[in-house]
Structure 1
């Protein structure tokens, strides 16, 4: 009488969508878009259409607002879903913003239609505070009793992210099922790390980085500074393909800290020496956020300070502005964006540019890459996961060998230096995932591994087996 189905995130890291049915009714945990290589099952409107029944679905529970977890919500509504959209309080603020952008890019540019869809979504939102139970169904018929309630706990992935505890009762049997959503790393900036659930009879857990370990906080901050100093030495631009929610804000937080600590230190610059002028000091370095969506979410992050961690609030209380410091420039207008690309490509002025999208599969970063990948003065710094089949994965793979990448149907040679700092990934690494599981007082009776590349899931499966967890499953 209790059933679990997976409608996405079983063959890759995107398209998260899981169904929990108790008796004759159920809920969905996320309804996300497929990206990269995963778009074999979600590349166009026909494939994005919901291909499973929804009449029995009482509610959608959103773990967080990344597009691979919420991008198919408009299609879910079109399929006839009429229930509430349950999410954390910060996610309720951000969800309409991220879906407006997704609708405009992949659905329609009809502003009236977009407004109608967003109005419908806002009317369905049910913000639930962390740690508070919310009843979804309670049914008694023909001698059978079924109930389901959910509780959101902080996941530390992005602002508003949550893992979902589901308390179920079916014919006298109680069971708690936990969906991890995406978990954050232990030492991520701005947000507190997730605490393990007090109980999980079944655990559905992500495995994006289930086969590797991130750099420590201090180590990656030091390496970030080293990479930036080396990259800026020859008078080029550092391009950071940044996800609008999470990574952009964390990087700004770290850059503000570097400038605060080293503001009067000069940046090494061969270009400045050759031109007979002094190099810039850190506090003169311009940091550009060229993404209207990232800028908007940075504003939302600032407005939601009560959800920041203690370290971040201590900086605010000391009079610092981690997400709105003096050296920060935001570009919103498209014409200003094009002028910035042209100016930086020609001038050789040291600059750090954060632009979407994070996997280089669209957005303003593509224009920068087209103009700058072929110039060895420039650098590209990846700080987030690059899904197979995306330009970002190709640049990361072939860039160090001066290969090429296809952007908008054309090949571009990669002469820019390529760097990667895995510690700034939004996802927990292997140690974080194991810590989350090991912290559950009584080991889960079943662990299902989702949201990971096939080989990564297998290695994480093997590790859990070695650690003595018995019933570990990789759903197909």
Structure 2
């Protein structure tokens, strides 16, 4: 029997963790499992109807093991109790689709629960995974440096980097076998969707787990291509109810937001996801600086403290960009080091001598003291600046100090370029900011007078049309499609669209 269970990303967009389990033989009685769906034998419950029953002959894998965030906390895991609450004795390997924390953040707890198998991932992900988990361990697990190093050492020893497009055998035992293949997902560097070839006796199936899919034409990374086959498909639905702006439109919107904000000497604050969005945004800002060069930013408008706007000295060339996130800075360095995984457009820029992730106007802040000084200086000065600070949903990190200091000043702007989960300060700012409302940060209320923007095109997630395109590209429609990793509205919208387009497929939202 070949079965898929879900241990996260069913009630929201976080906590991704899925299980593929193969079970040969029999449960009880003499009827082979699955040969007669009406067989009851000694035990009236067929194997597989109870997700906690695995049987002595079962063998399986997990696809991702991520943290719950926002309102998803407490749904199978919480900030105070992140223990793995499902059987893992039969789990032979963990396959990581990508290194965002909602896909990998529970790995230390998986190890603590006794998982001793390999961690299979792409080659870039193998480089980045210890970095992202080190940060997660420091924030939510322990400050004990020796303990952190022991955990990271254990994780590094388990990593099995696998090249894209190459089949990797996970196990072959008890008349069962399972191989996996990683394909580019276009979400962040190293992201992959997972193809699984599963065999139990004479029964064979290909199950595909999408992980998080990227939007086509995003900077830096090649777009995902549809799988050649999928009998079962587990697909994300983060933006299952909407489409993003195209790249040209979002680039013009970004330019307009920067010009309008910088014209009055304010700070454009971008809550930064360390991996993906930060690097794409830097890429686009560098392209604006390259294109407009010595042109005045916001020409004809008041620039900085100059009351006439006639000072031509402030140009795109002099625009300062700050990364105030050591983790984002580190991943930007890793992105630069992994140029072979960039797309053709970005590679061509490098060949021409451009440095889209390392340009003259870019400043990195590392120390906490420098961070506090930057917050104080930018809050008091009229020096136009763009600051990318972690974390992306404003639930912690250095961005919180900037928000406390700057949300009350109408000169400033907050620009969201990624998904904001329900229950996070980022979602509240996005919802109540345009109404002149307030947000709670560290237990205190802060009025929102800064202008709030969202440029959805910079999300690393595919939009509804992109997700549908991914399914349509499969030569034969999947027998079953499971919609996960989305808010209820997004999942329902994508389910309705898929049911309309693929009437021969069983489309469902797992409980």
Q: What TM-score does the superposition give when structure 2 sets the normalisation length?
A: 0.91
**SS of equivalent residue, structure 2 residue 178:** strand
Aligned residue in 2 for 1:20: 20
Determine if contact 1:249/1:323 at 8 Å carries over to the other structure. Answer: yes
Instruction: Structure 2 unaligned segments of length 5 or more: list them.
Output: 24-57
Aligned residue in 2 for 1:82: 116
Q: Residue by residue, what CA displacement relative to the aligned partner does 1:195-228 show, whole Å, maximum 9, x if unpaired?
A: 0000000000000001101000111111100111
Aligned residue in 2 for 1:60: 94
Instruction: Structure 1 unaligned segments of length 5 or more: list them.
Output: none
**SS of equivalent residue, structure 2 residue 73:** helix
1:44 offset after TM fit, Å? Answer: 2.2
Distance in 2 separating the partners of 1:350 and 1:426: 27
Distance in 2 separating the partners of 1:215 and 1:277: 34
Determine if contact 1:272/1:279 at 8 Å carries over to the other structure. Answer: no
- Is 1:185 the counterpart of 2:215? The answer is yes
Distance in 1 separating the partners of 2:295 and 2:312: 12
- Is 1:175 the counterpart of 2:205? The answer is yes
- Is 1:260 the counterpart of 2:295? The answer is no
1:278 offset after TM fit, Å? Answer: 4.2
Distance in 1 separating the partners of 2:133 and 2:72: 20
1:279 offset after TM fit, Å? Answer: 5.1
**SS of equivalent residue, structure 2 residue 461:** coil
Aligned residue in 1 for 2:160: 126
Aligned residue in 2 for 1:474: 509
1:272 offset after TM fit, Å? Answer: 3.7
Distance in 2 separating the partners of 1:277 and 1:316: 33
Determine if contact 2:305/2:382 at 8 Å carries over to the other structure. Answer: no
1:325-364 to 2 correspondences below 5 Å: 325-364=359-398
Determine if contact 1:384/1:426 at 8 Å carries over to the other structure. Answer: yes
Q: Residue by residue, what CA displacement relative to the aligned partner does 1:47-92 show, whole Å, maximum 9, x if unpaired?
A: x100001110000000000000000000000000000000000000
1:296-315 to 2 correspondences below 5 Å: 296-315=330-349
**SS of equivalent residue, structure 1 residue 273:** coil
Larger radius of gyration: 2
Distance in 1 separating the partners of 2:311 and 2:194: 57
Determine if contact 1:273/1:279 at 8 Å carries over to the other structure. Answer: no
- Is 1:195 the counterpart of 2:230? The answer is no
2:126 to 67, 70, 92: 92
Q: Which runs of 4+ in 1 moved over 2 A?
A: 40-45, 275-279
Alignment length, in residue pairs? 471
Distance in 1 separating the partners of 2:79 and 2:112: 15
Aligned residue in 1 for 2:318: 284
Distance in 2 separating the partners of 1:81 and 1:53: 10
Aligned residue in 1 for 2:192: 162
Aligned residue in 2 for 1:274: 307
Aligned residue in 2 for 1:69: 103
Aligned residue in 2 for 1:7: 7
**SS of equivalent residue, structure 1 residue 354:** strand
Distance in 2 separating the partners of 1:66 and 1:81: 20
Distance in 1 separating the partners of 2:198 and 2:414: 48
1:417 to 430, 448, 451: 451
Distance in 2 separating the partners of 1:264 and 1:192: 32
Determine if contact 1:215/1:422 at 8 Å carries over to the other structure. Answer: yes
Distance in 2 separating the partners of 1:413 and 1:245: 29
Q: Residue by residue, what CA displacement relative to the aligned partner does 1:400-430 show, whole Å, maximum 9, x if unpaired?
A: 0110000000000000000000000010000
1:277 offset after TM fit, Å? Answer: 4.3
Aligned residue in 2 for 1:44: 79
More helix by share: 1
**SS of equivalent residue, structure 1 residue 295:** helix
